[in-house]
Amino acid sequence: MVMRQAFGGLLWSKQLFYYDVQTWLDGDPGEPTPPAERLNGRNAKWRNFNAFDIMSMPDKWEYPWYAAWDLAFHCVALAHVDPAFAKYQLILLCREWFQHPNGALPAYEWDFSDVNPPVQAWAALEVFSVDGGRDLDFLSRVFDKLLLNFAWWVNLEDREGNNVFEGGFLGLDNIGPLDRSHLPVGGTLEQSDATGWMGFYTIAMGTIAMILNRSRQRPASDLVLKFMEHFAAIRDALASQGLWDEADGMYYDRLVTPSGTAVPVKVRSMVGVIPALAAFVLQEDDLRSSLMVGKQFSDLLSDEGFDDPDKLRESGVLRGEPGEQRMLFSLAGPDRLERLLSKVFDESEFLSPHGLRALSAYHREHPYVIDVEGVQASIDYEPAESTTSMFGGNSNWRGPIWFPLNYLMVTVLERYHRFYGDDFTIEYPTGSGRRLTLDKVAADLSDRLISIFTDDADGRRACFGGTELMQRDPAWHDNLIFSEYFHGDNGAAIGAFHQTGWTGVIADLIRRRHGEVDSIGDVIRRLSAETREPREPLP
């Protein structure tokens, strides 16, 4: 029932999105000319934008306009029921009447220039994979446009040229003490999530290039290397630029003031977890060619100890028999990953009965105050609605459970597990003394998310919270609420009430839980097996 209503909501949330910015700015013939202020106002730089398309909306009342990063998650869920439509949405976002000539993807109508997490390449891969890994033309087509977008990111959001990225609020509204889009102080905010997202983006692009190359769709080995090199650079920057806090075992944003001092923003939030979402596995063939050709990447490999396979095996990042070896690359690296996960799966921090909180409950008792350049700002754990007016005060990332990040965490845990197998375990929940393999952790996290919607032992659904009418009355009880986000302590629905948009990924999680979803890794392996030529094993 949960899955059927989730898909039902996703499909009902289609809408004609009609918006011709040029006409909207200049006005219609025979109508009064619109006020001149608009020519320098909202979306004035987006005269190329001219949509007249059926699109998937986050919520047709509260958000009756597409949002570029929400849409990526909708597509992953929609791919299970209508892969053609899902592909159409991703292609559309990159069409010339959407994408800016400079490569930027339009975020949403309130301000097309806002910067959202770059998740479209990842979504394209997932859609390709859910669709059975057949439609290489689709992947190739999206890839070309995303190359432009990738270059736009690199040019615009890395001011220092040091591979540490900015980007502003990045879809997470009020998650920091400072408004990350409009810093109240001078300087720049080097963001661990922006950098993490770029690592994530780089991996998705590299993986697409690898698939196109291996499947003989088109020669793309140069691009595989390009993205590997780029990944190596971002990884290096994240490791060395001071975003990691060794004492706390977290990544933090860092404010670099005009005088040049760097102040870490010590908030325990998903911002610092996002680097853990960026991980991929290289197979031996690709390792070999990278070693030969890619300079930065081979440096990275030797840093990792690639000259010494025994050492690599010992640390667990190199596995498999010679000829079939696989190596794990992650932005965080195994040691930091384990420390991060111990925070993430601590029930007094991120892990709630119904999924991961966007901000650690640690801040319930320990509000964080930043005091820099005469500006004071604070943040504490707020599990329900927002108490600030930042970004309209409509959404709250300071404690509630949000589906997109939970969903990515589940899928990356599965990826780690496919690499490590049953050899790698973590204590879950932290402090419980129970050690679990990562697939079991992913399954438990999925079950916590699913339990938002299903009846508990007392016949109550967490999403209805304290609304007794919905808890008890049969005329209400089976009509589910797929809200925008959920209470960080009890899972009650908050925010927009018809956001089967990205909350609709619950349908994907349910299918995954029943083993009905192939992973990208499986799809790549299958494609590789179909096309691979035999090679000599690595020494």
Partner 1 sequence: MGVERERVAGFGRLEDGLRQAGEWYRWGPYLSERQWGTVREDYSANGDAWNYLPHDQARSRAYRWGEDGLAGFSDIEQRLCLGLALWNGRDPILKERAFGLTGEQGNHGEDVKEYWWYLDAIPSHAWNRWRYHYPQGAFPYQDLIDVNRSRNKFQPEYELVDTGAFDDDKYWIVEVVYAKASADDLLMTITVTNAGPEADTLHVLPTAWFRNTWSWDPDAPKPSMAAGDADGSVTIEHPFLGTLELVADAGPDGAVPEVLFCENETNTSRLFGAEPITPYPKDGINDHVVGGAATVNPDRTGTKCSAWYRLTVEPGNTAQLRLRLRPARTTAATDPFGKNFSEVLETRESEADEF
Ramachandran angles phi, psi of 290, nearest 5°: -65, -40
259 vs 479 by CB, closer to partner 1: 479
Decide: 63 and 496 in contact? Cβ < 8 Å. yes
From residue 321, give the alpha-carbon distance in Å to each of 160, 283, 538. Answer: 42, 11, 10
Decide: 519 and 509 in contact? Cβ < 8 Å. no
* Per-residue tokens: 405: 């990040």
Amino acid at 152: W
Residue 5 is a binding residue for partner 1 (CB under 8 A):
yes
Q: How far is the CB of 88 from partner 1 (least distance, A)?
A: 4
Residue 132 is a binding residue for partner 1 (CB under 8 A):
no
Decide: 394 and 202 in contact? Cβ < 8 Å. no
| Structure-token match 């004071």, residue found | 376
**Any idea how long the chain is?**
539
Q: How far is the CB of 82 from partner 1 (least distance, A)?
A: 4
Residue 26 is a binding residue for partner 1 (CB under 8 A):
no
**Nearest CA-CA partner of 375 in 187, 189, 182, 184:** 184
Q: How far is the CB of 451 from partner 1 (least distance, A)?
A: 20
The DSSP symbol for 262 reads E
Q: How many CA atoms lie within 13 A of 178 on its CB side?
A: 26
Q: Which residues touch 269 (CB under 8 Å, ≥6 apart)?
A: 175, 176, 358, 359, 360, 397, 398
Helix (H, G, I), strand (E, B) or coil at 512: helix
Residue 154 is a binding residue for partner 1 (CB under 8 A):
no
Q: How far is the CB of 75 from partner 1 (least distance, A)?
A: 13
31 vs 423 by CB, closer to partner 1: 31
5 vs 163 by CB, closer to partner 1: 5
Q: How far is the CB of 116 from partner 1 (least distance, A)?
A: 16
Q: Which of 46, 49, 53, 72 binds partner 1 (CB under 8 A)?
A: 53
Residue 9 is a binding residue for partner 1 (CB under 8 A):
yes
Q: How far is the CB of 102 from partner 1 (least distance, A)?
A: 21
Residue 490 is a binding residue for partner 1 (CB under 8 A):
no
| Integer Cα distance of 246 and 296 in angstroms | 26
| Integer Cα distance of 47 and 25 in angstroms | 8
80 vs 448 by CB, closer to partner 1: 80
Q: Which of 496, 505, 517, 523 binds partner 1 (CB under 8 A)?
A: 496
- Selected range binding partner 1 among 19-27, 67-75, 362-370, 427-435, rule: CB under 8 A: 19-27
Decide: 294 and 283 in contact? Cβ < 8 Å. no
Q: Which of 85, 169, 306, 329 binds partner 1 (CB under 8 A)?
A: 85
| Integer Cα distance of 243 and 303 in angstroms | 20
Residue 40 is a binding residue for partner 1 (CB under 8 A):
no
C-alpha of 171 from chain center: 10
Residue 499 is a binding residue for partner 1 (CB under 8 A):
no
Q: Which of 71, 105, 109, 527 binds partner 1 (CB under 8 A)?
A: 109
Q: How far is the CB of 92 from partner 1 (least distance, A)?
A: 9
Considering only residues 460 to 479 of the shown chain, the ones binding partner 1 according to CB under 8 A are: 467, 469-470, 475-476, 479
Q: Which of 12, 303, 316, 422 binds partner 1 (CB under 8 A)?
A: 12
Q: Which of 188, 497, 513, 518 binds partner 1 (CB under 8 A)?
A: 497
Cα-only R_g, the chain: 23
| Integer Cα distance of 276 and 279 in angstroms | 7
Q: Which of 330, 430, 500, 503 binds partner 1 (CB under 8 A)?
A: 500
| Structure-token match 């890395």, residue found | 158
Residue 88 is a binding residue for partner 1 (CB under 8 A):
yes
* Per-residue tokens: 278: 């960026």
Q: How far is the CB of 495 from partner 1 (least distance, A)?
A: 8
Q: Is the dihedral of CA 337, 338, 339, 343 positive or negative?
A: positive
27 vs 367 by CB, closer to partner 1: 27
| Integer Cα distance of 273 and 323 in angstroms | 34
| Integer Cα distance of 205 and 217 in angstroms | 15
Residue 529 is a binding residue for partner 1 (CB under 8 A):
no
Q: How far is the CB of 14 from partner 1 (least distance, A)?
A: 6
Q: How far is the CB of 385 from partner 1 (least distance, A)?
A: 4
**Footprint on this chain of partner 1 (rule: CB under 8 A):** 4-5, 7-9, 11-19, 24, 27-31, 34-38, 41-43, 52-54, 57, 60-62, 64-65, 81-85, 87-88, 91, 109-110, 137, 384-389, 392-395, 467, 469-470, 475-476, 479-480, 496-498, 500
